[in-house]
Amino acid sequence: MMAAKGLHWKRLAAALITGLVVLIFAAGAGAQSGVTQAEVDALLAIKRGFQSPSILASWNESGAGVCTSWLGVDCLNGQVTGLSLPGKALRGVLAEDIGNLTSLRKLSLHHNFIAGSLPQSLGTLPALKGIALFLNQFSGSIPANLGNSSALAQLDVSYNLLTGPVPAGLTQSRRLTLVDFSVNRLWGVFPGDWAQSSSLVVIGLAANSLSGPLPDQWGAINASSLQRLDAKDNFFSGSIPRSLGARAALTELRLSNNQLDGAIPEELGQLAQLTVLDLAGNQLTGEVPAALGNLSVLAEADFSGNALSGAIPASLGATNFRCC
Ligand SMILES: *[C@@H]1O[C@H](CO)[C@@H](O)[C@H](O)[C@H]1NC(C)=O
Ligand SMILES: *[C@@H]1O[C@H](CO)[C@@H](O)[C@H](O)[C@H]1NC(C)=O
Ligand SMILES: *[C@@H]1O[C@H](CO)[C@@H](O)[C@H](O)[C@H]1NC(C)=O
Ligand SMILES: *[C@@H]1O[C@H](CO)[C@@H](O)[C@H](O)[C@H]1NC(C)=O
Ligand SMILES: *[C@@H]1O[C@H](CO)[C@@H](O)[C@H](O)[C@H]1NC(C)=O
Q: What is the DSSP letter of 312?
A: P
Cα–Cα distance measured from residue 39 to residue 92, given in angstroms and rounded to the nearest whole number: 20
CATH of the domain spanning 189-324, picked from 1.10.3720.10, 3.80.10.10, 3.20.20.70, 3.40.640.10: 3.80.10.10
- With cut-offs at 50, 70 and 90, classify the pLDDT of residue 149: confident
Ligand nearest to the CA of 223: 4
Mean pLDDT over 127-141 rounds to 98
Q: Over 50: is that where the pLDDT of 250 sits?
A: yes
Query: Position 155: which residue type?
Result: L
Q: Is the CB of 26 under 6 A from ligand 2?
A: no
The predicted model gives 5-15 an average pLDDT of 48
Q: Quick one: pLDDT at residue 20?
A: 42
**Which range is least confidently modeled, 1-15, 44-58, 283-297?**
1-15
Q: Which ligand is nearest to the CA of 144?
A: 3
Burial class (CB in 10 A: 0-12, 13-18, 19+), 314: exposed
**pLDDT given for residue 317 in this prediction:** 61
- Where do the domains of the chain lie? 36-164, 189-324
Query: Does the CB atom of residue 100 touch ligand 1 within 6 A?
Result: yes
Q: What is the pLDDT of residue 53?
A: 73
- In ligand 5, the atom with minimum distance to the C-alpha of 315 is 5
Determine the residue of 118, 120, 124, 145 to mutate for testing ligand 3's pocket, defined as the one with the most ligand atoms within 8 A of the Cβ atom: 145
Question: In this structure, are residues 288 and 303 in contact, taking their beta carbons and an 8 Å threshold?
Answer: yes
Say if residue 158's pLDDT is above 80.
yes
Closest residue (by CA) to atom 4 of ligand 4?
222
Q: State which ligand 3 atom lies nearest to the alpha carbon of 148.
A: 1
Which pairs count as long-range contacts for 121-124, CB under 8 Å and 24+ apart, including other chains? 121/96, 121/97, 122/98, 122/146, 122/149, 123/147, 123/148, 123/149, 124/99, 124/148, 124/149
Q: Is the predicted pLDDT of residue 132 greater than 50, yes or no?
A: yes
148 lines ligand 3 (CB under 6 A): yes
- Mutation choice for ligand 1 from 41, 44, 46, CB with most ligand atoms inside 8 A: 41
Residue nearest to atom 4 of ligand 1 (CA): 100
Average pLDDT over residues 136-141: 98
Q: Is 128 in the pocket of ligand 5 (CB under 6 A)?
A: no
> Tell me, what's the pLDDT at 78?
92
Beta carbons within 10 angstroms of residue 37's beta carbon: 8
Q: How far is CA 14 from CA 4, 7, 67, 266, in A?
A: 15, 10, 30, 81
Looking at every residue in the chain, the average pLDDT score rounds to 89
C-beta separation of 33 from 78 below 8 A: yes
Let me know if the fold of 36-164 is the same as that of 189-324: yes
C-alpha 170 – ligand 4 centre gap (Å): 25
Mean pLDDT computed over 213-238: 93
- pLDDT 10s digits, 72-120: 999 999 999 999 999 999 999 999 999 999 999 999 999 999 999 999 9
- Distance in Å, CA 290 to ligand 2 centroid: 71
Task: State pLDDT tens for residues 163-215.
Answer: 999 998 899 888 999 999 999 999 999 999 999 999 999 999 999 999 999 99
Q: What is the pLDDT of residues 16-54, one digit of tens each?
A: 444 444 444 444 444 445 799 999 999 999 999 998 779
Per-residue model confidence (pLDDT) at position 310: 74
- pLDDT score, position 148: 86
The more confidently predicted of residues 276 and 16 is 276
The three-point CA angle 9-13-14 to 5° equals: 115
CATH of range 36-164; options 3.80.10.10, 3.30.1490.20, 3.40.50.300, 3.30.700.30: 3.80.10.10
The pLDDT of residue 323:
67
